[in-house]
Amino acid sequence: MEALAKSVENYYEPGAQILAESSAEAVFWGGNFDETLTFPPYFKKEILRGSGKAADVFTQRASR
């Protein structure tokens, strides 16, 4: 999982920036996570951190 996450992480911030600058009224970013399928420490370390970065991009755009 870590190798997969590393291979796509460079696409997430630019993707969030593109979405934040679009005319979309809503953005679905991540989802379909369940503690029975996603190991909670991995979720906290990798997924939550990445979602937080995306949230920062969206929040900065919304405050303009």
Contacts of 9 (CB under 8 A, 6+ apart): 50
- Give residue-wise pLDDT tens across range 30-40: 887 787 888 88
pLDDT of residue 49: 83
pLDDT at 47 over 80: yes
Report domain extents, the chain.
1-12+37-64
Q: Judging by beta carbons within 10 Å of its beta carbon (0-12, 13-18, 19+), is residue 16 exposed, middle or buried? A: buried
pTM: predicted TM-score of the whole model, two decimal places? 0.70
pLDDT of residue 17: 92
